[in-house]
Structure 1
Amino acid sequence: MVDSVLTFFTAMENQGASIVKDTPHFDLETYISNYRGRTRFDRLSLIGRSCVPLCVDALKAAVAEAKRNRDTQRYREAVECLRMAAPSDPESNVDHDWIIKTEQANVAETNRLISELKGYKNNMIKESIRMGNEDLGKHFESTGDLNGAAETYAKMRADVSTPKQLVDVGKHLVRVAMQRREWGMVLANLSKMGGHQLSAEDEQALQPYLKIIQGIAFLGQERYSEAALSFLAADPTPPASGYHDIVSQNDVAIFGALLAMATMDRRELQARVLENKSFRTFLELESHLRRAIAGFITGRYSATIKILETYRPDYMLDVYLQKHVPRLYEEIRSKCIVQYLIPFSAVKLATMEREFMYRADEQTMEEELVNMVKNGTVEARIDTIDKLVITPTQDDRARMQMEALEAAQDYERQAVERLRRMGLAAADLELKNPRKSTGKAVDSGRGLGGLASDNVTFPEESPFV
C-alpha cells in the first residue's frame, strides 16, 4: 500500500496539487463533524488528495459520504482516487449497481419535481411556485448540476413575498456560487441580502453569515485586508444563520487571525484582534493563534514563527485557505524580520538563523534576506564576509538640522508673500481673478516687489494711473 500511496501522490503533485507530508493536529472524524452539506465531501476529498498520512482514511470517508448523497460523479472521482492510493481496499471497487440505481432515482425525481412545478404555475399560486423552484434547485444541487441549481434558485426571486424569503434565495445562490468559486457572484448576492428591512432578531442572526461569507469571498479574490476586517467584525453568536454549510467557527478564528497578522501592524493587532471582544470568542477556539499574535506584538518573533510553522499542515488542508497559506506566511514572516531588525544597526546572520529558521523549505536565511532587499521589503546591506546584516543608521542631529532649515525657509517664503500683499494694500491696489474681473486690467510684468500682477486693477484715484 505504501508504494501505491507514493505513486498516487506523485501523480497528484504532477497535476499541481499541494502535498502535505506531516500529520495534522486534528482528528479526521472530529474535524469533519463540524461541517454539514456538500462541503463535507469537498474537505474529505481535499485531505485525501493532499495529506499523505490521512490519505486512505480520508478517501474512504469521502466514498462513504458520496454514497450517502445523490452525486454519482463525486462518487466516481472518490473511488478513482482510492483505487490509485489503495487498490487492494474493497471500497476501491466501483459499485455500478448503486450508480445505476441512484441515477435512475435522480431522473425520476427530476421529472416529478418539474411536473409539480408546472402544475403550480398553471394554478398561479406564487408561494407554491417559489417552493417548487426551491425544491427543484436543491435537487439539482444535490445531484451536482450546479448550473441548473443556480438558474432555478434565481427564478425564485419573482415569487418571493417577504424579506426573509429574499434572504433565503440569496443564501441558496451564494452557496452555489461558492461551490463554483465565483467570488464576484458571491459578493453581489450578499449585497442584495443586506439591503432588506428585517426584524432586529433576523438581522442579528444574519450578521455573522454576511461577514463570514464576505470574508471568504475577499480571501478568494486575494483582498486580504478587507477579508481580515470582515472576519474580525463577525458576531460570535451561535451559527443559526447556517454558515456551517461552508465553514466552522474554528475556521473563522484561523482565517481572521492569519489575515490580520499578514495585513496589520502591532498596534492594530492589539486593538482589533486581542482587544476585540467579539472576535476573542472565536479566537479562544484556537488558543495557539492567540499566543502567536501576542508573541508578534511583544517582539517574540521566534515563538510566533514556530507556532505558525507547527500548524502549517492543518491550514494547508482547508479548501479555502490552502492556496493562500504560502503567501500569508511569507507576509507574516517578512513583517517579523523587518520588525526584528529595527532596533539594531548590525545583526549576525547566525543569530537571525536561530530566530527564524522554522521553515518548511530549504531556503537559507541569507538567500531570504537577499530576496527581501531586492524587492524592497527591508532596507539593509548584507556583509557576506563577516556574515552580518547591516541596517542604515540615521544621524538624528543632521535630520533635526535639516528639518529646522526647511522650517526657516518656509517661514521666509511666507513672510515675503505677506510683505508683498501689504505693499499692494498700502498702494490701494486690488487683486482680482482675471476670469471674473470686470475692471481695466493692466499688464505690469512683475508688479510690486517682483510679484506677477497680470490681473492688477488700478482704481481711478490711484496715483499710478
Structure 2
Amino acid sequence: MADSVLKFFTTMDGEGGFVVKEPPKFDLDLYIQNYRGRTRFDRLFLIGRSSVPLCVDALKAAIAEAKRGRDTVRYREAVDCLKMAAPSEPEAAYDQVWLENTEQANRQETQRLTAELKVYKNNLLKDSVRMGNEDLGKHLESIGDLNGAAEAYTKMRPDVSTPKQIADVGKHLVRVALQRREWNMVTAHLSKASVTLSAEDEKTMQPYTKIVQGIALLGQEKYEQAARSFLSADSSVSSSNYNEIASANDVAIYGGLLALASMDRKTLQSAVLDNTGFRVFLEQEPHIRRAVTQFVNARYSACIATLESCRPDCLLDIYLQKHVQRIFSEIRTKCIVQYLIPFSCVTLDNMNAAFGSPGKPIEQELVTMIREGVLQARINTVDRVVTTISANPRAKMQASALETARKYEQQAIDRLRRMSLAAAELELKSGRKGGLQGQQTEIHFDEL
C-alpha cells in the first residue's frame, strides 16, 4: 500500500497538485463533523488528494459521503483516486448496483420535477412555479449539475414576493457560485440576498454574509478586505447558519492569518486581540491567537515558528490551499522588516538565528527583499552585517513641500491663461488629446 500511495502522490505532484507529507493536527472524523452539505465531500476529497498520512482514510470517507448523496460523478472520482492510492481496499471497486440504481433514480426524479414544473407554469401558479424551480435546482445541485441548478435558481427570481424568499434565492445561487469558484458572482448574489431583510433576519444572516464575503475576497486575493470581513462576523449566532460553507474554526484561521498578512501591529491589537466578538472564534484555534500575540509583542521568530507548525492544516483547506504560500510569505516578510526597524545594523548570524533554517541561509531572501523595494537596507558580505537605511524625515518634508509648491504654481499659471483667454474673448480649437496641453490653437500666450 505504501508503494501505491507514493506512486499516487508522485502523479499528483507531477500534475501540479499539493502534496502535504506532514500529518495535520486535527482528527479527520472530528474535523468533518463541523460541516454539512456538499462541502463535506469537497473537503474529504481534497484531503485525500493532498495529505500523504490521511490519503486512504480521507478517500474512503469521501466515497462513503458520496454514497450518502446522489452525485455519481463525485463517487467515480473518489473511487478512481482510491484505486490508484490503495487498490487492495474494498472501496476501490465500483459499486455497480448503487451506481445503476442511483443514476436511474436521478433521471426519473429529474423528469418528474420537470413535468411538475411544466404543469405549474401552464396553470400560472406563481408560488408553485417558484417552489418547483427551487426543488428542481436542489435536485440538480445534489446530482452535480451545477449549471442546471444555477439556471433553475435564477428562474425563481421573477416569482419571489417576500424578503425571506429573496434571501433564499440568493443563498442558493451563492452556494452554487462557491462550488464553481466564481468569486465575483458570489459577491453579486450575496448583495441581492441581504438587501431586503428585516433587522432581525439580517442579524441572523450576518455571520453567513460576512463569512461568504470573506471567502469571495480571499479567492480574489484581496486579503485585507477579506480579513476585515471575517473579523466582523457575529460569533453569537450558531454555526448551523453557515456550516455548509465553513466552520467557526475556519473563521478564526482565515481571519487571523489574513490579518497577520495585511495589518500592522497596532491594527492587529485593536482589530483582532481586542475584538470581543472575534475572540470567541480565536478561542477555538489557540495557535492562531498565539501567533498574533507573538507578532504584536515583537516575538517575530516565535510567530513564524507557530505558523509553520500549522501550515499542513492550512494546506488541507479548500479555500486556503492555493493562498498559503503567498500568505505565509507576506507574514514572514513583515516579520523580517519589523525585526530590523529598531536597529541600524544587525549581523547576518543573528538574522540567521532568528529567521534562517537548516540548509537555507537568509542572505538570498534579504537580497530579494531589497531588490523588490520591500526592505531598505544594505548587506555587507565582508563583515556579514545588514545595515538599514533610515529615511530622513527632514528631506522627505522638504521634498513634499517643494512638490506641493510646484503643483500650486502650475495650477496658478493655468488659471491665469484661462482668465486671459476669457478676457480677450478667444476660444481654443478642440485637439486630438484631452486637456489644455493637447488642445491646438494659434494663440500665443506670451502676447496676452
TM-score of the aligned structures, taking structure 2 as reference length: 0.88
One-letter amino acid of the structure 2 residue matched with residue 315 of structure 1: C
| Aligned-partner SS, 2:379 | strand
Aligned to 1:106: 106
* In the alignment, structure 1 residue 279 sits paired with structure 2 residue 312: no
What do the CA deviations read for 1:262-292 (whole angstroms, capped 9, x no partner)? Answer: 1111111111111112211211111111111
| Aligned-partner SS, 1:244 | coil
Aligned to 2:371: 374
2:344 touches 2:389 (CA, 8 Å); kept in 1?
Answer: yes
CA–CA distance in 2 between the matches of 1:114 and 1:95?
A: 28
CA–CA distance in 2 between the matches of 1:409 and 1:60?
A: 69
In structure 2, the CA distance between the partners of 1:64 and 1:432, relative to structure 1 (3 Å rule), is: closer
CA–CA distance in 1 between the matches of 2:108 and 2:119?
A: 17
Q: Which runs of 5+ in 1 are unaligned?
A: 418-430, 440-451, 456-465
Deviation at 1:303, TM superposition (A): 1.1
| Aligned-partner SS, 2:20 | coil
Deviation at 1:117, TM superposition (A): 1.2
TM-score of the aligned structures, taking structure 1 as reference length: 0.85
What do the CA deviations read for 1:297-325 (whole angstroms, capped 9, x no partner)? Answer: 11100110010000000000000000000
Rg bigger for which structure? Answer: 1
> What percent of counterpart residues are identical?
60
What do the CA deviations read for 1:43-95 (whole angstroms, capped 9, x no partner)? Answer: 00000000000000000001111111101011111001001111111111111
CA–CA distance in 2 between the matches of 1:408 and 1:139?
A: 66
Aligned to 1:434: 420
CA–CA distance in 2 between the matches of 1:233 and 1:407?
A: 37
CA–CA distance in 2 between the matches of 1:85 and 1:295?
A: 40
Deviation at 1:380, TM superposition (A): 1.2
Aligned to 1:163: 163
Deviation at 1:125, TM superposition (A): 1.5
In structure 2, the CA distance between the partners of 1:68 and 1:273, relative to structure 1 (3 Å rule), is: same
CA–CA distance in 2 between the matches of 1:156 and 1:336?
A: 50
* In the alignment, structure 1 residue 56 sits paired with structure 2 residue 27: no
CA–CA distance in 1 between the matches of 2:62 and 2:330?
A: 34
CA–CA distance in 2 between the matches of 1:409 and 1:187?
A: 44
Number of residue pairs aligned between Structure 1 and Structure 2: 420
Deviation at 1:453, TM superposition (A): 11
One-letter amino acid of the structure 2 residue matched with residue 220 of structure 1: G
Deviation at 1:115, TM superposition (A): 1.4
1:27-426 equivalence runs, <5 A: 27-196=27-196, 198-239=197-238, 242-357=241-356, 363-393=360-390, 400=394
1:306 touches 1:358 (CA, 8 Å); kept in 2?
Answer: no
| Aligned-partner SS, 1:245 | coil
CA–CA distance in 1 between the matches of 2:401 and 2:63?
A: 78
| Aligned-partner SS, 1:340 | helix
Aligned to 1:458: none
In structure 2, the CA distance between the partners of 1:62 and 1:210, relative to structure 1 (3 Å rule), is: same
CA–CA distance in 2 between the matches of 1:382 and 1:315?
A: 34
CA–CA distance in 2 between the matches of 1:204 and 1:177?
A: 23
In structure 2, the CA distance between the partners of 1:96 and 1:57, relative to structure 1 (3 Å rule), is: same
In structure 2, the CA distance between the partners of 1:307 and 1:433, relative to structure 1 (3 Å rule), is: same
CA–CA distance in 1 between the matches of 2:204 and 2:130?
A: 23
Deviation at 1:405, TM superposition (A): 7.9
In structure 2, the CA distance between the partners of 1:371 and 1:404, relative to structure 1 (3 Å rule), is: closer
In structure 2, the CA distance between the partners of 1:437 and 1:238, relative to structure 1 (3 Å rule), is: same
1:206 touches 1:241 (CA, 8 Å); kept in 2?
Answer: no
